[in-house]
Chains A and B, each alone.
Chain A
Amino acid sequence: MNRKVCIVGVGHTNFNSMTPDVSWKEFMYDACKKAYFDAGINPRKDVDSFITCAEDYWEGFGIFDEFVPDQIGATLRPCCTVCGDGIQGMANAYMQIMTGLMDTVAVEAHSKVSDLLTYGDVVLHAMDPLFEKPVSGPVERERYAGSPSYPDNNPKPLVGSTDEKERVHPYFLAGLEMQHYLRSAKVTEEQCASVAVKNKKNAFLNPYAINQADLSSEDVMSSEYLFNPLKRLDISPLVDGAICFVLAEESVAKKLGIEPIYLNGFGYSSETPWLSTRGMDAGYARQAVNMATKMAKLKDPKKALDVVEVDDRFSYKELQHIEALGLAGPGEAAQLLEEGELYKDGSLPTNLSGGSMGVGNCLEATGLQRSLEIITQLRGLAGKRQVTDAETGLAQSWRGIPSGTGAVAIFSRNPEVKT
């Protein structure tokens, strides 16, 4: 068995801060339709299995899987939801194809976060309800309309106040982690600010990145402290966006006459959810990249990778992730940035798409957004931000606060990564 898995089609919606003109279903349909068009296939007969990446609380209703099939062409077909980032979904597609049971698999991930009116509270809901979440402040409502569990005569005693406006936004965890990173890597806030500057500038060259800005690091530095040392402009804005990939066995790509981009390796890993004992050095990324490079037989990633996309939901995260991926020594990513190595013409072009800073934080679609950039680069279609002769690229994602889960995917134009 010498099966190989490649990407034969990609499609995505526009990314925007809100998308009131379409429902989330139409939004997904839009991305999938484009991916199937790109691959030149009809999902109703050419796709063997479908995977979406979603989380009920992001969506606003229960058992998301059940709401999926119609808008992606999957009714009465094998279909499942991976409760994780798009790269994790892609990993599952890879495994399905490698079994020999499926030849073509569609993977979809999206964010329709503008439909979510209580983002902060939904994220807070991801913290341990007994030992961690209460630190944020009042979590119970004195009286919640229609709720039998909060009768009028039994308001719960709360610490401080019953005012729900006093609940602290869970991004405070990023403030804590950033402080840890600044100290352990001996990096300054200015150096982190430069990440936001770079990526928002990169966004000018990416037609679908909407958060482009020409900032100086002083602009970032003078934005207000929200969770000291984290400042307003260190935080990536939320966006809506849907992305679909069609993965297929190499022979399908040949039949379709498509020049394939190979998925040579992937990895994913989760740290303990307990903040009490969890590391703060992106250990998930370290584990994931070890798995991915081993699978891709990539001995010297730093040398082999032509283009890299890493998670930068908060500016410091880009530097922390580059180090965790082994692409820079501890505390050395900031230096690479200063020396220009993370720019298009540097030795390690990073987040040329604009990343989460420039495109926006698209929740579980983040991994696919990063992978999309790598595929675009490897296809040679990246326009003004194209890296010359890009052959191999790496995309990395993190599921965001308060998760300790990350994934890595390695793509190349060749069935075996050239080292």
Chain B
Amino acid sequence: MTYLEKQSNPLDPVHFRGNLQADYLYTSGAAGDKFFKHIMENDSFLASECEECGTVFCPPRLYCEDCFVEIPDEKWKEVPAKGTVRLFTTAMLNTFGEPLEVPKIIGLIDIEGTDSSMLGILKTKDQKQDLTGITVEAVFRPTQEREGTLKDILYFNESG
């Protein structure tokens, strides 16, 4: 028994490899649906504004998380698909913990005209050390190739 006589031969323990079959459909939801259908046809974002506290959400939401009130249709608005880089990092590892062939620069971008930020891959004009505060613009896939997911945004490119 394991607990009275511990295994001491490292070749002894048996294991087998398994995986989970776990596939899902992720529904975009009422708010997400509008957002994703919008970016299929437009190079801009939709945002929604809470009537009570004035917080502008992008991606838009059906309700305000602070006030817990619904956001009506008339408080939705179009905002440009651009913003300012607040934070950034250069990711060197993939999910297996191995080096990425091409390191990715990921930024947290404050979206213009909103109180929200989005994660995005950053592309800059030149090799900069500090990307904080640069303005970036979303680069979308060609319209006919869009599928209505976040992947329609290829990356955020430095403006100007």
- Asked if A135 lies at the interface with its beta carbon under 8 angstroms from chain B, I say yes
- Asked if B20 lies at the interface with its beta carbon under 8 angstroms from chain A, I say yes
Q: How far is the CA of A243 from the CA of B85 in the complex (A)?
A: 42
From A26, A121, A130, A137, contact of B104 by CB (8 A): A137
Q: Say whether A130 contacts B57, CB under 8 Å.
A: no
Q: How far is the CA of A61 from the CA of B18 in the complex (A)?
A: 10
Determine the chain A residues whose CB is within 8 A of the CB of B69 once the complex forms: none
Q: Say whether A227 contacts B108, CB under 8 Å.
A: no
Q: Say whether B92 contacts A224, CB under 8 Å.
A: yes
Determine the chain A residues whose CB is within 8 A of the CB of B20 once the complex forms: 60-61
Q: Mark B14-46, 1 if CB is under 8 A from A, else 0.
A: 010110110110101000100010000000000
Q: How far is the CA of A21 from the CA of B89 in the complex (A)?
A: 39
Determine the chain A residues whose CB is within 8 A of the CB of B106 once the complex forms: 135, 168, 172, 176
- Asked if A277 lies at the interface with its beta carbon under 8 angstroms from chain B, I say yes
Q: Mark A147-160, 1 if CB is under 8 A from B, else 0.
A: 11100000001110
Q: Say whether A169 contacts B108, CB under 8 Å.
A: no
- Asked if A100 lies at the interface with its beta carbon under 8 angstroms from chain B, I say no
Known contacts A130-B149, A132-B119; is A169 also within 8 Å of B32 by CB? no
Q: How far is the CA of A167 from the CA of B94 in the complex (A)?
A: 5
From A129, A149, A176, contact of B89 by CB (8 A): A176
- Asked if A179 lies at the interface with its beta carbon under 8 angstroms from chain B, I say yes
Determine the chain B residues whose CB is within 8 A of the CB of A130 once the complex forms: 26, 28, 32, 36, 149-150
Known contacts A120-B95, A131-B59; is A176 also within 8 Å of B116 by CB? no
Give chain A nearest CB distance to B101 CB in angstroms: 7
Q: How far is the CA of A117 from the CA of B18 in the complex (A)?
A: 10
Q: Mark A350-363, 1 if CB is under 8 A from B, else 0.
A: 00000000000000
- Asked if B151 lies at the interface with its beta carbon under 8 angstroms from chain A, I say yes
Known contacts A166-B101, A172-B91; is A275 also within 8 Å of B150 by CB? no
Determine the chain B residues whose CB is within 8 A of the CB of A147 once the complex forms: 21, 23
Residue on A with the closest CB to B17?
A: A117
Interface size counted on chain B using CB atoms at 8 A: 55
Q: Which of A129, A172, A229, A274 counts the most chain B CB atoms within 10 A?
A: A172
Q: How far is the CA of A228 from the CA of B149 in the complex (A)?
A: 28
Q: Mark B67-92, 1 if CB is under 8 A from A, else 0.
A: 00000000000000000001111111
From A164, A169, A230, contact of B97 by CB (8 A): A169
Q: Say whether A277 contacts B108, CB under 8 Å.
A: no
Interface size counted on chain A using CB atoms at 8 A: 55
- Asked if B93 lies at the interface with its beta carbon under 8 angstroms from chain A, I say yes
From A146, A170, A180, contact of B21 by CB (8 A): A146
Residue on A with the closest CB to B27?
A: A130
- Asked if A30 lies at the interface with its beta carbon under 8 angstroms from chain B, I say yes
Q: Mark A173-205, 1 if CB is under 8 A from B, else 0.
A: 001110110000000000000000000000000
Q: Say whether A157 contacts B145, CB under 8 Å.
A: yes
Residue on A with the closest CB to B150?
A: A134
- Asked if A226 lies at the interface with its beta carbon under 8 angstroms from chain B, I say yes
Q: How far is the CA of A418 from the CA of B64 in the complex (A)?
A: 42
Known contacts A169-B93, A176-B106, A227-B92; is A30 also within 8 Å of B3 by CB? yes
Determine the chain B residues whose CB is within 8 A of the CB of A167 once the complex forms: 94-95
Q: Which of A117, A169, A180, A274 counts the most chain B CB atoms within 10 A?
A: A169
Known contacts A147-B23, A277-B65; is A118 also within 8 Å of B118 by CB? no
Determine the chain A residues whose CB is within 8 A of the CB of B90 once the complex forms: 175, 225, 227-228
Q: Say whether A165 contacts B57, CB under 8 Å.
A: no
Q: How far is the CA of A172 from the CA of B94 in the complex (A)?
A: 10
Give chain B nearest CB distance to A105 CB in angstroms: 25
Determine the chain B residues whose CB is within 8 A of the CB of A414 once the complex forms: none
Q: How far is the CA of A9 from the CA of B121 in the complex (A)?
A: 50
Q: How far is the CA of A179 from the CA of B96 in the complex (A)?
A: 24
Q: How far is the CA of A226 from the CA of B89 in the complex (A)?
A: 9
Determine the chain A residues whose CB is within 8 A of the CB of B57 once the complex forms: 276-277
- Asked if A171 lies at the interface with its beta carbon under 8 angstroms from chain B, I say yes
Determine the chain B residues whose CB is within 8 A of the CB of A137 once the complex forms: 104
Residue on B with the closest CB to A229?
A: B89
Residue on A with the closest CB to B118?
A: A276
Give chain B nearest CB distance to A77 CB in angstroms: 22
Q: Which of B2, B15, B102 counts the most chain A CB atoms within 10 A?
A: B2
User: With contacts A172-B104, A225-B90, A227-B90 known, what are 10 further pairs, Cβ within 8 A?
Assistant: A117-B17, A120-B95, A120-B96, A159-B141, A168-B100, A175-B90, A176-B106, A276-B59, A276-B118, A277-B116
Contacts A/B (CB < 8 Å), 19 sampled: A120-B94, A120-B97, A124-B95, A130-B28, A130-B36, A135-B121, A137-B104, A165-B94, A168-B94, A169-B93, A169-B95, A172-B104, A180-B87, A227-B93, A229-B89, A275-B117, A276-B57, A276-B118, A277-B117
**A-B residue pairs, 9 tightest by C-beta:** A120-B95, A175-B89, A21-B7, A134-B150, A172-B91, A169-B93, A135-B119, A20-B13, A176-B87
User: Chain B interface (Cβ within 8 Å of chain A)?
Assistant: 2-3, 6-7, 10, 13, 15, 17-18, 20-21, 23-24, 26, 28, 32, 36, 55, 57-59, 65, 86-98, 100-102, 104, 106, 108, 115-121, 141, 145, 147, 149-151, 154
